[in-house]
Structure 1
């Protein structure tokens, strides 16, 4: 908003200083960069993030597999459990069981895992994500979530660019004001000794 008000300094005015005109130009450049360059940068960053994340989605879906595990018995809370890193925060809402499953490469696996079954019993089946060799892994990223992250990355980049441009404008104007005050102080120092004396300036 201040950048727009800075354009008002272009108006014809006998009291307009050179610094006022410079400040108006700085305001115009800032406005153009925020209105044009920031959205363009956000779009470029978002597109790049979208491409990288979608490649990651494809790779994860290729490398991770959903297999069916069978409950052998329920475990107590003290047994180490192979867990999905993405759901570590909700570990307490899951049941710990000893289970058997077959890896995508055909090997048989046996070990403690977490299950969403509320009351697991021997022989119950549930799904787990594993790698090619049957080791527990995180759920693969889905395409919609990847797109959301890409949009947020682009939006964040645009906001950051706009903030940096506005910050640079404020810094330039601040330095100009300081120089203006310094010149006023020098002028007052020169006029100070004779200020108010009869005949001053004549």
Structure 2
């Protein structure tokens, strides 16, 4: 709305000040930057983030292998006395799995199993050496992160444009006040005196 008021100051008016015209140009520039540069910045940042994350997704999918692990027993100290096993979203268990090279491995891993009964099977992701790793990033999750990055870049660009616009308008207002103070100081001593033509 303030941008529209700023643009309205372009009209020919004998009372229009130079600062009014400058403010109108500042408003027009801000509108153009908000409508063109902010979306382009967001798109560029989102595209770059998506390309980078998709490369990471492909690399993780090539380097990580799913395997079936079986619970041997609950890990010692995995459950605390004040938290019931059903309330724990993930729990530590000692499990056995087969590495990609065919060797048997045993180790402590975390699982989302509701009950960590011995012999329960669950999917475990390992690297090429058989060490447990996090599951690979999914492509749609990477795309969602890229969208968030693009929106954040666009919003930060818009915030920067608006901040610069506000600082410029503030400077113009201060300039107007300074000119008004100088004009008032020049006319003030004669204001209302008889014979001064006022």
- Tell me whether the two structures share a fold, i.e. TM-score over 0.5: yes
Instruction: Give distance in 1, aligned partners of 2:179 and 2:50.
Output: 52
The 1:78–1:37 alpha-carbon spacing in structure 2 relative to 1, beyond 3 Å, is: closer
Query: How far is 1:75 from its partner?
Result: 3.1
- Quote how far apart the aligned CAs of 1:140 are: 1.1
The alpha carbon displacement at 1:78 in A equals: 4.8
Residue 65 of structure 2 is aligned to residue 65 of structure 1: yes
Greater than 6 Å deviation, 4+ residue runs: none
Distance 2:155 2:89 in 1: 38
**Whole-angstrom CA distance in 1 between matches of 2:191 and 2:175:** 23
Query: Which string of whole-angstrom CA distances, capped at 9 and with x for unpartnered residues, describes residues 100-145 of structure 1?
Result: 1122233332112222222233322211112111222111110001
Aligned to 1:125: 121
Aligned residues: CA RMSD: 1.9
Match of residue 149 from structure 1: 145
Aligned residues of 1:4 and 1:31 also touching (Cα < 8 A):
no
Q: How many residues align?
A: 191
Q: Which 10-residue stretch deviates more, 122-131 or 112-121?
A: 112-121
Aligned to 1:43: 43
The 2-side partners of 1:34 and 1:120 are apart by: 55
The TM-score, its normalising length taken from structure 1, stands at 0.86
**Contact map agreement 1:94 1:116 (CA 8 A) in 2:** yes
Structure 2 CA distance for aligned equivalents of residues 96 and 53 of structure 1: 29
- What is the TM-score with the length of structure 2 in the denominator? 0.88
CA contact (8 A) 1:100 1:108 kept: yes
Structure 1: give runs of 5+ residues left out of the alignment.
80-90
Structure 1 CA distance for aligned equivalents of residues 162 and 90 of structure 2: 49
1:24-43 maps to which residues of 2 (within 5 A)?
Answer: 24-43=24-43
Answer yes or no: is 1:97 the counterpart of 2:90: no
